[in-house]
Amino acid sequence: MGERLSGGTTGAASRPRLAPAPLPSFPMPSFSFQCPPGTRDFYPQDLLRKRYIEKLWRDTSIRHGFEEIDGPTFEHTDLYTVKSGEGIVSEIFGVFSGKDEAGVKEMAAKLAAGSGAMAPYALRPEFTPTLARMYAARAAQLPKPAKWFWMQNCFRAERPQRGRLREFGQWNCDVIGEGSHATDVEVTSCCTDVLASTGLTHLDLQIRLSHRDAIDHVLHRLGVPDEHRDSARSLLDARTKLGERQFIERASPLGLSETGVGVLLDLFRNRRKAQPGAVASLLDCATKAGAVAEQGVPTEWGVLAAIQDEVATTPWHEWMWFDLSIVRGLAYYTGMVFEVIAEGERAIAGGGRYDNLIETFGGPPTPACGFGMGDVVLGNILQDRGLMPEGRDLLEALSRSAASLRPDVFVISNGTPEADAALRPLVARLRRGVESRAWLDRADRKPWQADRYSVPPLHARYSYKVTKNIGKLLQDAAAQHARYAAILEGGERATLKNLDTREERKDVPIDALAAAVCARP
């Protein structure tokens, strides 16, 4: 019985119980129960470990300017059958109230007819449909973009095994109402920031980026007709579970010849670190192999190139790779997609752009991008690598100050090209913090130690608006209750305003901004 981290005791797949029949009145004979298979009992030590992961999730979300939301644990079943795709629908737990007689009758009739047991409600197998429903319901009043995070449990009726349970913790971050490649990078950066804060490094895992349209273009070029595109994508997503022979056999009826499969697999092996030139070189290979049209670079490759340039300005460029084999199982993705991969484990996280989903749920056309990360695979990895604190260390790590819900600093460009270019890289650095020399020199260095940062990670925000009206942006900063506004005067220096006291310091070097903000009164 796996008693791994991130997990307390897992219910065994079988269900050994004594004396099952309920008895009418007290006193009763003794008997014992286990938790349902694939769910967990968290005794105090088990739960502290889960809370440790959740604290990293929460603090990182807040520092990246995400606000927390929540929805019901169960939803109308139709919310999932509409758009999540076959894979998820087959794993839904049905929910019904015995008091809802009409609903139960309808369900009983369906069950009797053997037509797929659909209850009126379903335990959420994922959160994105709820988020899309919520955004759609209030799109007119909500900010653009809305940056939302969510942390609760999800439920899937899968066979329990390592890294996969029937109830698991999940963290989502989504930016809704912004379609820029900068948003794609901000979302993947937030995901990477959490992983770095656990003590994992770019040597332990990779953030692998791709683009749905790039894959579709390749499939089209290799002969897959439109009507088989979805099936071909599903086949690609299941690729690692199949042998090469089996893969070729299943690919053939979808229009992919053995040669086509070869081209595809070559392309998939051709992973590139996301540094200058990576996309061009990947595109060059793909074109030579005939997987991309010679004339006119397709738009999605332009998006990948823009992502590549943006990634270069973040603290995360060592972590990010381009990998066209990343397809993602969910049906609703439309653009950039990514997965976080540690060798030999299930994906730690995954996400991407889903620009049509809000509209599907009755909202206006709204671009959106986000990701989800579970607690089970990450917990296993941290536990295995000694990256999970224990005892007093764990209590202290969990008692340490949380990220401030008031933004520590709201960064504004003065409108010059130098300031514009410096804005997002500065925000990313402020959110990251600076690890201290003393800590880096420690032989017994651990990620949860109190002396890790000389400049702590900050809650930094900026405006997604294109306005250059600084007065208006300062109003936004105040409305969001930021403590400081930093106005970039070019690429090197900033004016720092304390929005509580109205004090102002001019000409602060941008490398000194964080320290100035941290010197709280």
When asked if residue 116 is in the footprint of a copy of itself (CB under 8 A), the reply is yes
Residue pair 490/463 in contact (Cβ under 8 Å)? The answer is: no
- Sole window of 26-34, 205-213, 320-328, 379-387 interacting with a copy of itself (rule: CB under 8 A): 26-34
Q: Which two tokens stand for residue 348?
A: 């730690």
Size of the site for a copy of itself (CB under 8 A): 100
Pairing state between β 121-123 and 146-155: unpaired
CB of 65 to a copy of itself, least distance (A): 11
- Sole window of 130-138, 188-196, 204-212, 263-271 interacting with a copy of itself (rule: CB under 8 A): 130-138
- Sole window of 15-23, 212-220, 429-437, 443-451 interacting with a copy of itself (rule: CB under 8 A): 15-23
Q: Which of 16, 20, 471, 521 binds a copy of itself (CB under 8 A)?
A: 20
CB of 331 to a copy of itself, least distance (A): 7
> What binding mask, one character per residue, do residues 275-314 give for a copy of itself by CB under 8 A, x or -?
----------------------------------------
Q: Which of 75, 216, 323, 339 binds a copy of itself (CB under 8 A)?
A: 75
Looking at residues 178 to 237 of the shown chain, list those that interact with a copy of itself (rule: CB under 8 A). Answer: 230
When asked if residue 22 is in the footprint of a copy of itself (CB under 8 A), the reply is yes
When asked if residue 117 is in the footprint of a copy of itself (CB under 8 A), the reply is yes
Q: Which two tokens stand for residue 146?
A: 């809305």
When asked if residue 392 is in the footprint of a copy of itself (CB under 8 A), the reply is yes
CB of 304 to a copy of itself, least distance (A): 23
DSSP lists the bridge partners of residue 168 as 154
Q: Which of 12, 54, 73, 463 binds a copy of itself (CB under 8 A)?
A: 73
Distance CA 138, CA 176 (A): 12
**Residue 202 vs 446, nearer CB to a copy of itself:** 446
Residue pair 174/362 in contact (Cβ under 8 Å)? The answer is: no
User: Quick one: DSSP state of residue 372?
Assistant: E
CB of 133 to a copy of itself, least distance (A): 5
Q: Which of 14, 25, 240, 295 binds a copy of itself (CB under 8 A)?
A: 25
Distance CA 329, CA 448 (A): 34
Distance CA 506, CA 512 (A): 12
Residues in contact with 323: Cβ distance below 8 Å, sequence separation at least 6, in sequence order: 206, 208, 209, 210, 268, 271, 272
**Residue 71 vs 425, nearer CB to a copy of itself:** 71
Q: Which of 97, 161, 201, 252 binds a copy of itself (CB under 8 A)?
A: 97
**Residue 9 vs 275, nearer CB to a copy of itself:** 9
When asked if residue 253 is in the footprint of a copy of itself (CB under 8 A), the reply is no
> What binding mask, one character per residue, do residues 360-379 give for a copy of itself by CB under 8 A, x or -?
xxxx----------------
CB of 341 to a copy of itself, least distance (A): 27
Residue pair 154/126 in contact (Cβ under 8 Å)? The answer is: yes
When asked if residue 133 is in the footprint of a copy of itself (CB under 8 A), the reply is yes
**Residue 109 vs 293, nearer CB to a copy of itself:** 109
When asked if residue 39 is in the footprint of a copy of itself (CB under 8 A), the reply is yes
Cβ contacts of 287-292, under 8 Å, gap ≥ 24: 289/263, 290/221, 290/222, 290/263, 291/218, 291/221, 291/222, 291/263, 291/264, 291/267, 292/217, 292/218, 292/221
When asked if residue 481 is in the footprint of a copy of itself (CB under 8 A), the reply is yes
Looking at residues 414 to 473 of the shown chain, list those that interact with a copy of itself (rule: CB under 8 A). Answer: none
> Among candidates 371, 379, 366, which has minimal Cα distance to 127?
371
CB of 502 to a copy of itself, least distance (A): 15
Looking at residues 134 to 163 of the shown chain, list those that interact with a copy of itself (rule: CB under 8 A). Answer: 134, 136-138, 142, 148, 153, 155, 157
Q: Which of 248, 285, 398, 421 binds a copy of itself (CB under 8 A)?
A: 398
CA 478 to chain CA centroid, Å, is 29
Q: Which residue matches tokens 């890294």?
A: 163
Q: Which of 2, 12, 34, 345 binds a copy of itself (CB under 8 A)?
A: 34
Q: E-assigned strands of 133-205? A: 146-155, 167-176
**Residue 69 vs 242, nearer CB to a copy of itself:** 69
Element spanning 454, H or E: strand 453-455
Element spanning 349, H or E: strand 349-353
What secondary structure does DSSP assign to 265-319, as a single string? HHHHH--EESSTTHHHHHHHHHHHTTSS-SSS--HHHHHHHHHHHHHTTSTTTTT
When asked if residue 47 is in the footprint of a copy of itself (CB under 8 A), the reply is yes
- Sole window of 13-21, 260-268, 300-308, 321-329 interacting with a copy of itself (rule: CB under 8 A): 13-21
The alpha-helical segments, DSSP class H, found in 373-498 are 375-384, 391-399, 417-432, 437-441, 470-479
Q: Which residue matches tokens 């066209």?
A: 324
CA 111 to chain CA centroid, Å, is 36
Q: For 138-170, b where at least 16 C-beta lie within 10 A, e where not — what string? A: ebeebeebbbbbbbebbbbeeebeebebbbbbb
CB of 11 to a copy of itself, least distance (A): 8
CB of 387 to a copy of itself, least distance (A): 19
Distance CA 364, CA 372 (A): 24
- Sole window of 260-268, 311-319, 346-354, 356-364 interacting with a copy of itself (rule: CB under 8 A): 356-364
